[in-house]
A and B are shown apart, each in its own frame.
Chain A
Amino acid sequence: MIRSLMLAYSFYYPLTMSLFWIVGGIAYFLRWERKTAKHTDPPKLTRWPKATLVVPCHNEGSQVRETLEYAANQDYPDFEIIAIDDGSADDTGRILDELTGVYPQLRVLHFPRNQGKAMGLRMAALAANSDFLICIDGDALLDRYATRWLMWHLVTGPRVGAVTGNPRIRNRSTLLGRLQVGEFSSIIGLIKRAQRIYGRIFTVSGVIAGFRISALHHVGYWNTDMVTEDIDVSWRLQMDFWDIRYEPNALCWILMPETLRGLWKQRLRWAQGGVEVAGRYMGLMWKWHRRRMWLVLIEFSLSVLWSYVMLAVLLLSLCGLVIALPPALHMPGPMPGWYGVILSALCIVQFVVSLVIDRRYEEQIGRQFFWIIWYPLVFWMIGMMTTVVALPKVLAKGARTRAVWESPDRGIQ
């Protein structure tokens, strides 16, 4: 009985979610995306209130010139840039100071000691001369029209507390880089679209998101003790009934890890962040007026459970190859049979759907899909393992431990 349940869950959970993502992605495309203009032709507004672009940096000396060049080149009538040098040990602070002479709209906050990204964002909100923040990472290149797209939502939608953009991977030299191109397009993009159709989003992308300062003020800004401040603030905004929207036209070019070690560290942080946020707000969620967040929490909990079930199925299958297990624990061998056919067919359907939707934003994206065939093997395994490791790490983590910066792997450049 338990064996059958484990097998069924390990198979039907990803299958069901995949079908919902595909259908949700198509619904989003049909309802909103296909009617919008090209990303180089953002909607017009009658007023363009001032925006503050926020760029928190920690040891970004090799990237920050390019980042600010793109930030300063926004096609938006009125904006300032606040860059935060958060205790950098390299020449980030000097470069930022130097760039204040190049870009008149640039202002710089130096933190002599590393305070963490959340504190940088909090101080930017305090120092901003506007009601809206557009937050990007120190190594991210903002598309020229991204601010217009994000601000359009914030200006026209009074309920909108935040808008998340569309991160695109820049570094594609290695297999891991190419895999992530497909992942961001076919998995993350589809999930965001499906979640938007549902009405609640698991998280904004920390690398590109717009915020309304009054919404942040209501929820107490970013928490400094969370591993992933973006997931945390997304949940709190939505628990306070602010809408979070997804704008695929707001493009931002980012660098991702291209080593297994770098990828593992990044994904472990993401998994840990999810578990931490779910754990902290679970108790506050069970009120009728917060019912729209229930499914977000339930879906995340099911994904954590799936990781453990899948690991158990894999371990029992491997053990069954070398030792005789009791019938109740005996799992099928490695030959997947029709399970494999169905999952592989569904993978291809998901990739094709996302490719068709995504080609609006990047020409020749189809070329990257040759490499996506590795995706199920590499990322499902990494996703499963990081979740399995993250849960005990979060339980062992002391309450209110400060989260500070660690420089990530940025791939081959």
Chain B
Amino acid sequence: MRAQSPLIISLPERQSSPQHAIFGALTLTIWVLWVYLWLPLITAILWMVGIRWAYIQIFQGTRGVSLWVILWILLSAIIVVASWSNYNNIRYAKKTQRRRAQAVYKTAIREKFGITSPTLALLLRERRLNLYFSDSEQLIHVDALTDAPFQPTALPQLSLHSVVME
């Protein structure tokens, strides 16, 4: 493609957005009017290629499907989504209903899981732990692993770091 002459000034991006949109829309309208003048010829050609028949099939629905219904669903989806989204934005965007998410203290978490303070300290501090559970899903025993390699089938070994649940 040949480069445009440097003498030509073409900087459409320097127009404002509304200016750009208005001129574009007006030009498109004039094109539509221009096509309108050709309507008799277009009608004759479409009649010859059977477009009328296709229009009846699609828009009036011989098997219950009408494109109008689908267009209505699409329009409804756009209206519902856009208005709901804007409503939420206006109502909630700058409001904080939970002013501060309250922190939960570790003691409350400990109580929820039914464990003792030393066990919690072990869980928070140690890097490798074995955890044992009762059949009722209660944590019953925690074992801190030190240098001994992990044995998946090993029974709990009580060590200095072990805590038996009460």
Contacts and interface: CB of A to CB of B under 8 A. Distances in A.
Decide whether A and B are members of one complex: yes
Interface of A: 4, 7-8, 11-12, 15-16, 19-20, 22-24, 27, 31, 85, 87-89, 93-94, 96-97, 100, 106-113, 115, 119, 122-123, 125-127, 129, 131, 158-160, 194, 197-199, 212-215, 217, 220-221, 224, 241, 332, 337-339, 342, 402
Contact of B131 (A8, A22, A109, A194): A109
Interface of B: 57-58, 61-65, 67, 70, 73-74, 77-78, 80-82, 84-85, 88-89, 96-104, 108-110, 112-113, 115, 120, 123-124, 126-133, 137, 139, 145, 149-150, 152-154
Contacts of B81: 20, 23-24, 27, 194, 197
Contacts of A224: 137
Most interface-central of A100, A125, A215, A217 (chain B CB within 10 A): A217
A5 to B, nearest CB: 11
A217 B104 contact: yes
Given A158-B100, A214-B101, A126 B149 contact: no
Contacts of A221: 112
B139 A123 contact: yes
22 contacts: A11-B65, A12-B73, A16-B77, A19-B73, A20-B77, A22-B77, A23-B81, A27-B82, A85-B152, A87-B152, A108-B127, A108-B150, A112-B132, A119-B137, A123-B131, A129-B124, A159-B96, A213-B104, A220-B112, A338-B58, A338-B62, A342-B67
A88 B152 contact: yes
A94 B65 contact: no
Contact of A110 (B57, B74, B129): B129
A214 B103 contact: yes
Contacts of A22: 77
B123 A127 contact: yes
Given A197-B84, A217-B108, A97 B70 contact: no
A181 B108 CA distance: 43
Contacts of A115: 133, 137
B84 to A, nearest CB: 7
A337 B132 CA distance: 62
Given A24-B81, A126-B113, A159-B98, A15 B73 contact: yes
Contacts of B112: 217, 220-221
Given A23-B78, A107-B127, A110-B131, A338 B98 contact: no
Contact of A338 (B57, B78, B97): B57
A19 B127 contact: no
A115 B137 CA distance: 8
A158 B115 CA distance: 29
Given A19-B73, A107-B127, A8 B64 contact: yes
A342 B70 contact: yes
A138 B64 CA distance: 50
Contacts, number: 139
A351 B150 CA distance: 49
B77 A158 contact: no
Contacts of B82: 27
Contact of A339 (B63, B77, B129): B63
Contacts of B84: 197-198
A123 B108 CA distance: 14
A7 B100 CA distance: 51
B128 A338 contact: no
A174 to B, nearest CB: 33
A158 B98 CA distance: 6
A387 to B, nearest CB: 23
Given A20-B77, A338-B63, A214 B102 contact: yes
B150 A97 contact: yes
Nearest to A339: B65
A69 B18 CA distance: 51
Contacts of B131: 109-111, 123
A197 B85 CA distance: 6
Contact of A16 (B73, B108, B132, B153): B73
Contacts of A7: 64
A119 to B, nearest CB: 7
A337 B62 CA distance: 10
A338 B65 contact: yes
Nearest to B127: A107
A111 B133 CA distance: 8
Given A19-B77, A97-B128, A119-B133, A212 B63 contact: no
In the A-B complex, the 5 residue pairs with the closest CB atoms = A127-B123, A158-B101, A214-B104, A217-B104, A23-B77
Given A23-B81, A119-B133, A159-B101, 5 more contacts: A31-B89, A107-B128, A110-B129, A158-B98, A241-B98
A12 B115 CA distance: 54
Contacts of A11: 65
A123 to B, nearest CB: 6
B133 A109 contact: no
Contacts of A158: 96, 98-101
